[in-house]
Structure 1
């Protein structure tokens, strides 16, 4: 990945000031950016021959795009798969720095929105009617795309509230009940591994910063808080984080959970052969697992995450993405209307859920019996979508992401993740992570507290 500093990137983007707000917690004083487009201007733009470029990694998304172009035949949409994960974001950064080649509309995961709003790369969609969509989306998903002063940086497309998938057959065989609390989960991990050393209750991938953040989110941690583009509070080693590190570090040191890298051939094999009795995952996990562990069909069930406080059910999020408009687009009205249509049009939104099996962020789908009550054979006929819909209601609205997520993930893997792998002190590793991130942020020009 190109080693762009925050200062050089801001300079390349023509940003002369660091005042204002940071990403999903920030604001803007740009009056022109909040002046509503008139209906006449919108009608004119949507009937003017235009070509939009859309970067996305969703397979066969041309089906949803076709719904838009059928309604607005003057608008053509060029769909480009620029990669997924790091390649996607690297190409976007490169195009933004070069000042050319960026798309009009781009798919961005929730956690990466601050990375691009901090450099003023995303268009505030309020002037194009986006605020009217707020009530259509689950509250916490809208909070993830919203700024402190009401900006709308993107439109939610799919989500990942976290739950637990578990092997009912293994639980039954070893007399394990579905753990409702983390204490029960730890006890079950010890019981199961003692009964059969070849089986672990779960695997916590030492490279999986995303899952770690989801668990911090569930526990109520606020590892990153920003009130402007130039300041950030970093607290990845606070009391809540230490509780999580002590918990998972302890289980790893005891040897009663796995810590192997996930999404590898060995990990897929482990899921198929029953090495792991649970997978702590997100709402996209059930479909993924049904395709990756076919030999275990009918044996899995879904449940909420175990709780720290069973009287106050909560969960975090892992994954999910949005459609954002790049500020440099020459067709802001058409681009904004496309981003909104793609994710709020009922037919398009349902197609994402039923064709690409993305977990929806819209309230309509999450209360639609045809979606939430559908029995899934892989899960013994359980209505798994309903389980995750209920979990989604417990996700906290206030979790924020840092504007340098790639660095956060790298440093996590090399500190906390390494401690899990090496079975050393994960709590001490939090301090190393905190120190690295603080130094990095200061070197990028942030005021850190």
Structure 2
């Protein structure tokens, strides 16, 4: 999303342990939803927001770390004048702790709360989340992008949280720079030129050589990590650490990228990284669709300046999900809100106003030939995003995945920087996992 911090927020081991203790204890959920408990429970399937005849009324409280939720609330209230939606927003670095404290105490708990991709796996199997499948939620997401739908499901397959968007990525490039170094600014031609990592290495090596090392094809060898992060097997299977063999290929490819001077070696999200995106000293930058805030558009100087091409495999970064507190006294009204944000009207509004890509495949398809964005001129940018995001494997979130993924990123990054062997990287990585998660069996 546009205003979300790029890096997913880390959760401490203590926090995770506390959450799982809460998941297994019904006694933690014996209180009502605090001051959000006065509404009409009988309005679920007949409210004005879904074309029914009975008008919705009551009050909802939503907790979030994301400022665009206020717009959701405003739009929902406009359609349902009898409803008041109170949005409480907390700083991202405080949000998880505050939410967990409220859930475990059962006091002042919101009716609806947001969960970020970086830690949804720690909440998705908890008893704090309402079973949305039992309320008809499966029908709401039947046309969704597969990966987006699956991340909202618990390990038993029940839908427990829904996102209103997807977060696909692509290679962003400045058109003039692309013409200079790639010979074209056509997104389809560029997508073909970089549709494999072998092509990227060959092309990047040539660009570095021809420019005397002044120009690089990509920002960092770590871009490969970001693109492949969710195209691999889960890190834990049957209680054992599982290192997908694909990670060796990825690491060895990163080594080739570094050795060929293909990358600018710019640290992730550093000042130099952002400068390169804006000054064109790097040809391609892997970016999620929501990251337009990184572009310097003072006096509209970036209007029509950029193009977006497909990456070798589809990827996404981030994502925000909403669930209903299982002990809320306003479940039916809360479900109407969830239904609204899962629907076409809101997702179309969100796309047009913010550029956030929809979670619904139907909304993608209805805009494929018509949607344009300020930075990208007349390019139909939904096409590369949609083609890429549909490829993403639908994998459930779990309580370990994001933390272990971050440990692999650090171990592999250190390996590239210090020219370590893959075997040494794996050894260091396993040690970190074992120290942090002693309950996981590590061979």
Counterpart Cα distance in 1 of 2:162 and 2:203: 40
Partner of 2:397: 401
User: 1:5/1:304 Cα in 2 relative to 1: closer, same or farther (>3 Å)?
Assistant: same
**Structure 1 residues 336-384: Cα deviation after superposition (integer angstroms, max 9, x where no partner):** 221222232x322212111122111112210123x65234453242111
Partner of 1:75: 83
Counterpart Cα distance in 1 of 2:366 and 2:307: 21
Report whether the alignment pairs 1:362 with 2:360.
yes
User: 1:214/1:179 Cα in 2 relative to 1: closer, same or farther (>3 Å)?
Assistant: closer
Partner of 1:304: 310
**Structure 1 residues 160-218: Cα deviation after superposition (integer angstroms, max 9, x where no partner):** 22322233333332346632211010111111111221222112375x8xx73541434
Tell me the TM-score normalised to structure 2 length: 0.79
Match of 1:387 among 380, 384, 389: 384
C-alpha displacement at 1:425, in angstroms? 4.0
Report whether the alignment pairs 1:15 with 2:25.
yes
SS of residue in 1 equivalent to 2:123: helix
SS of residue in 2 equivalent to 1:153: coil
Partner of 1:155: 162
Counterpart Cα distance in 1 of 2:327 and 2:63: 15
Give yes or no for contact 1:216–1:240 (8 Å, CA) kept in 2: no
Give yes or no for contact 1:253–1:420 (8 Å, CA) kept in 2: no
5+ residue gaps, structure 1, are: 18-38, 307-313
SS of residue in 2 equivalent to 1:174: helix
Partner of 1:428: 424
Partner of 1:222: 233
**Structure 1 residues 114-148: Cα deviation after superposition (integer angstroms, max 9, x where no partner):** 21024433221122221221323223321222245
Which region of structure 1 is more displaced relative to structure 2, 44-53 or 254-263? 44-53
Match of 2:206 among 172, 176, 191: 191
User: 1:129/1:70 Cα in 2 relative to 1: closer, same or farther (>3 Å)?
Assistant: farther
User: 1:423/1:151 Cα in 2 relative to 1: closer, same or farther (>3 Å)?
Assistant: same
**Structure 1 residues 252-286: Cα deviation after superposition (integer angstroms, max 9, x where no partner):** 2444313433334332222122221101222324x
C-alpha displacement at 1:434, in angstroms? 3.6
User: 1:439/1:386 Cα in 2 relative to 1: closer, same or farther (>3 Å)?
Assistant: same
Give yes or no for contact 1:216–1:244 (8 Å, CA) kept in 2: no
Which region of structure 1 is more displaced relative to structure 2, 335-344 or 259-268? 259-268
Give yes or no for contact 2:64–2:113 (8 Å, CA) kept in 1: yes
Which region of structure 1 is more displaced relative to structure 2, 358-367 or 107-116? 107-116
SS of residue in 2 equivalent to 1:117: coil
Give yes or no for contact 2:216–2:282 (8 Å, CA) kept in 1: yes
Counterpart Cα distance in 2 of 1:267 and 1:76: 43
Give yes or no for contact 2:116–2:319 (8 Å, CA) kept in 1: yes
Counterpart Cα distance in 2 of 1:402 and 1:421: 30
SS of residue in 1 equivalent to 2:228: helix
Give yes or no for contact 2:163–2:320 (8 Å, CA) kept in 1: yes
Counterpart Cα distance in 2 of 1:289 and 1:64: 24
**Structure 1 residues 377-416: Cα deviation after superposition (integer angstroms, max 9, x where no partner):** 532421112221222222222x343313563355245422
Partner of 2:225: 212
**Structure 1 residues 225-278: Cα deviation after superposition (integer angstroms, max 9, x where no partner):** 55xxxx544324x31011011111332244431343333433222212222110
Give yes or no for contact 2:168–2:357 (8 Å, CA) kept in 1: no
Report whether the alignment pairs 1:419 with 2:415.
yes
User: 1:334/1:296 Cα in 2 relative to 1: closer, same or farther (>3 Å)?
Assistant: closer
Which region of structure 1 is more displaced relative to structure 2, 63-72 or 148-157? 63-72
Report whether the alignment pairs 1:283 with 2:283.
no
Counterpart Cα distance in 2 of 1:82 and 1:259: 35
Partner of 1:22: none
SS of residue in 1 equivalent to 2:322: strand
Counterpart Cα distance in 2 of 1:8 and 1:321: 22
Tell me the TM-score normalised to structure 1 length: 0.78
User: 1:9/1:390 Cα in 2 relative to 1: closer, same or farther (>3 Å)?
Assistant: closer
Partner of 2:142: 135
Aligned residues: 404
Counterpart Cα distance in 1 of 2:125 and 2:170: 31
